[in-house]
Structure 1
Amino acid sequence: MMRPVPLIVLAQLLGTSLWFSANGVGDALMHDWGLSPVDIGTLTAAVQLGFIAGTLLFAVSGLADRFAASRVFLVSAITGAGANLALAWLAQDLATASIYRFLTGFALAGIYPVGMKLIVSWAPERRGEALAWLVGMLTLGTATPHLLQGLSLGLSWPLVITFASLLAISGGAMIAWLDDGPYLARSPTMQWGGVFRAFRQPGFRAAALGYFGHMWELYAFWVLVPLFVAGLYPQASITTISLIAFAVIGVGALGCIAAGRLSRHLGSARVAVGALAISGALCLFYPWLASLSVGLALAALLIWGVAVVADSAQFSALASRHAPPDGVASALAIMNSIGFGLSALAIPLTTSLWQDLGAQVSWLLLPGAVLGVMAMRPLLGARSPATTRSS
């Protein structure tokens, strides 16, 4: 039998392939439907809004803790795959496509945070490292559309979307076969509003606030990466810009894995704060570096790409440890919902000011890092390195 953690990580990668599947065929959609880049952004926003709505419902209802996480994952994967197939074969314009993308995002709420609960249910003693692999796979999924754009594969877009849907169903089947782990309790009843119990715990509150600061920066940075790269290389082709953007975003997967390894020795709190401090410093100094040297600025972007997501899994590991044992999925879901809501505000704010501010738009991301580091102070001395293997 395949070990549970690698299987869950693989299933999560397959399930979250639904997330950015439309972005990967953006050029074909623009050609076939006469869409603009702004319209492709609308489809992305629809997924994010669906995810926010889904995680909010999962959190407030307690549904993900009332029923077996493996079954919730399976149903969500099938539902998301169905909505994705509808995009490929039924949608004919932006309005209907946006509805199907919203439904896909809604279904992803039963895949991403529930996948984190499954990891904790199988490997609570090394949750920081295991969750790091999970977030690393999501990071690669985020970077993949840029790779597809850069490679100019020219695939038939309905078939690409269909393939992503089949991958998601396969991931759901793998989780259903694995079942839930033995280390987390299931709530005996639906607990409407019970998720707010988690915020009464100081440890969960600190981790959640740190995560919110991280999320203010993360997705806005990922959206800004092609603009940063284009600013450094104004004569470069779209293919070149896309490949560099893939490298800057995709290298974050290595940052997640390295942070997971470090968490076993330093503890999740120290690793999260360290990564957030590095990315915050780059928010502050990037405009100056970009004015000095293109090579220096590109190196800074790659380091930023590593640091900006390296803390994500560690915040989730801390939150899962301090949440009520029978409400872990709901606690992670509400944290995701609020965090993605903040990213939905940061993205339009920074992109709308890009023309006016250029590289200095990075300063708008700095408050998230600063406030996140401040919020995490109560957890920094909570555990010694000798005991962090259970983080």
Structure 2
Amino acid sequence: MKNNRWFALSLIATAVLFTLTLWFSASVISVELREQWSLTTFSETWLSAAVPGGFVIGAFISAYFGLADRFNTRKFFAVSALIGGLLNLLLIWVDHAALGIVIRMLTGMALAGVYPPSVKLISQWFPKKRGVAVGVLIAALTLGTAMPHFLAMFFVAIDVRLVIVTTSMLAIVAAIAVRYILQEAPGPAGQSSFSLGKIKQVLQNKPVMFANYGYFGHMWELYAMWTWLPAFLTASFSLQYPGMDPAMVSFLAFASIGLAGGLGCVLGGLYADRIGISQLTILAMAISAFCALTIGFTFGQPIWLTIILALLWGVSVIADSAQFSVAVSQFGGKSYVGTALTFQMCIGFFIATLSIQMLPLFQAVLGWHWVFVVLAIGPILGIISMLKYQRYTADTAVSYRKTG
């Protein structure tokens, strides 16, 4: 049973789901931490951006030194999850924002030892036809990222520290499961080496860079939406329904990010195989851009209208995520595809960190009605890039058929 690849996928996906609960474990209780940590608007924004910022640093360090290649990938995943869980647990004793932000950044660095290695583990267990497996993995990541909103429904009224403790325990359980239950994969690892010297080759590869530009636009929107949509829902519902139970808002945030996002990952993987990568990414970004442009105008309006757009946004904003990496894998040379994927991830999460930090500044000026229009810029530019990717790859295929 333990050597079955579907059992391995289930365990890896569950471990990713459990560990990624660390991502928003502090952000979802920032209102409660505001007094305890003396949070200002500036420090609260940094608290939200600390994990993706740390992830960028950790991913670059891991890729540059080839940590997932130097050490056993399964054990590296387990150690990273354990460190992340223990770091997160320290937050229950923290009483100052600066220290909390540093711990959150270190947690992000630890998570860089979880998500990228999980992709490598999947490539070992699924050397062929790994589309469904990657879709399940991204769905688990999405659901895990949203899980703290679900936990907050039960724990905030009792003690906010229970959210921290629970997410930490989930990460530690994930570490133990991967270390002691998951067996070594039967297949060889995929190409994952990184070299600064190969960056030039990545930059000169047109289809790879078109896919990268599409991904960068996608990332400008994704994590800022995941971070600030719950705050929007809270503000909007409080205006329309002042007595609304906070647990209901937490559930709606979880449904919009986690449940809808998980569905989007599965649908994105299925339809990408049918209609093609470029068509799927363009469609998904068009829908998410529409949601970003319009959801602000539901502020303070009937709750059902806001919920419909939030759920639609949750499905579309993540549906294309995995396909940008697939596009790079298809057109990146074997000698530098690892560098290309690392470059894509690091720049993408750096852009996400910027948008997370900038959105509150725009909100202060534009208000909730207009602020998400700023996020729509990302998918709109991403659509332009993927249209170029589509034309270039089509022309390349035609040229190949003529010369072949």
TM-score of the aligned structures, taking structure 1 as reference length: 0.84
C-alpha contact (below 8 Å) 1:255/1:310 kept by paired residues: yes
Percent of residue pairs bearing the same amino acid type: 36
State the match for 1:231 in structure 2. 236
Q: 1:179 to 1:37 in 2, by over 3 A?
A: farther
State the match for 1:387 in structure 2. none
Q: 1:224 to 1:17 in 2, by over 3 A?
A: closer
Q: 1:110 to 1:328 in 2, by over 3 A?
A: farther
State the match for 1:103 in structure 2. 106
* Aligned mates of 2:311, 2:203 — CA distance in 1: 35
The amino acid across from 1:278 in the alignment is I
Shift of 1:305: 1.4
The amino acid across from 1:317 in the alignment is V
Deviations along 1:288-316, whole A, 9 cap, x unmatched? 66698653343222211110111112222
1:333 correspondence with 2:334: no
Shift of 1:232: 5.7
Q: 1:19 to 1:348 in 2, by over 3 A?
A: closer
1:244 correspondence with 2:248: no
Counterparts of 1:26-175 in structure 2 under 5 Å?
26=30, 29-30=33-34, 32-35=36-39, 39-89=43-93, 91-154=94-157, 156=159, 160-175=163-178
* Aligned mates of 2:269, 2:220 — CA distance in 1: 22
Residue 286 of structure 2 aligns to a residue whose secondary structure is helix
* Aligned mates of 1:117, 1:191 — CA distance in 2: 18
Q: 1:72 to 1:123 in 2, by over 3 A?
A: same
The amino acid across from 1:142 in the alignment is T
Shift of 1:105: 0.7
C-alpha contact (below 8 Å) 1:20/1:141 kept by paired residues: no
C-alpha contact (below 8 Å) 1:10/1:171 kept by paired residues: yes
Greater shift in the superposed pair: 310-319 or 151-160 = 151-160
Q: 1:134 to 1:337 in 2, by over 3 A?
A: same
Q: 1:228 to 1:23 in 2, by over 3 A?
A: closer
State the match for 1:261 in structure 2. 270
The amino acid across from 1:78 in the alignment is L
Q: 1:142 to 1:116 in 2, by over 3 A?
A: same
Shift of 1:50: 0.9
Aligned residues: 381
Residue 224 of structure 2 aligns to a residue whose secondary structure is helix
* Aligned mates of 2:240, 2:129 — CA distance in 1: 46
State the match for 1:184 in structure 2. 189
Shift of 1:117: 2.5
Residue 171 of structure 1 aligns to a residue whose secondary structure is helix
Q: 1:21 to 1:324 in 2, by over 3 A?
A: farther
The amino acid across from 2:86 in the alignment is G
The amino acid across from 1:246 in the alignment is F
* Aligned mates of 2:9, 2:251 — CA distance in 1: 30
Residue 21 of structure 1 aligns to a residue whose secondary structure is coil
Deviations along 1:321-358, whole A, 9 cap, x unmatched? 44454665554333222112112222233222224323
The amino acid across from 1:20 in the alignment is F
Unaligned stretches of 5+ residues in structure 1 = 384-391
Unaligned stretches of 5+ residues in structure 2 = 395-404
C-alpha contact (below 8 Å) 1:24/1:145 kept by paired residues: yes
Deviations along 1:242-289, whole A, 9 cap, x unmatched? 332222222111111121222232233322221111112223344566
Shift of 1:220: 1.8
Greater shift in the superposed pair: 1-10 or 108-117 = 1-10
TM-score of the aligned structures, taking structure 2 as reference length: 0.81
Q: 1:124 to 1:331 in 2, by over 3 A?
A: farther
The amino acid across from 2:347 in the alignment is I
Residue 130 of structure 2 aligns to a residue whose secondary structure is helix
Shift of 1:210: 1.0
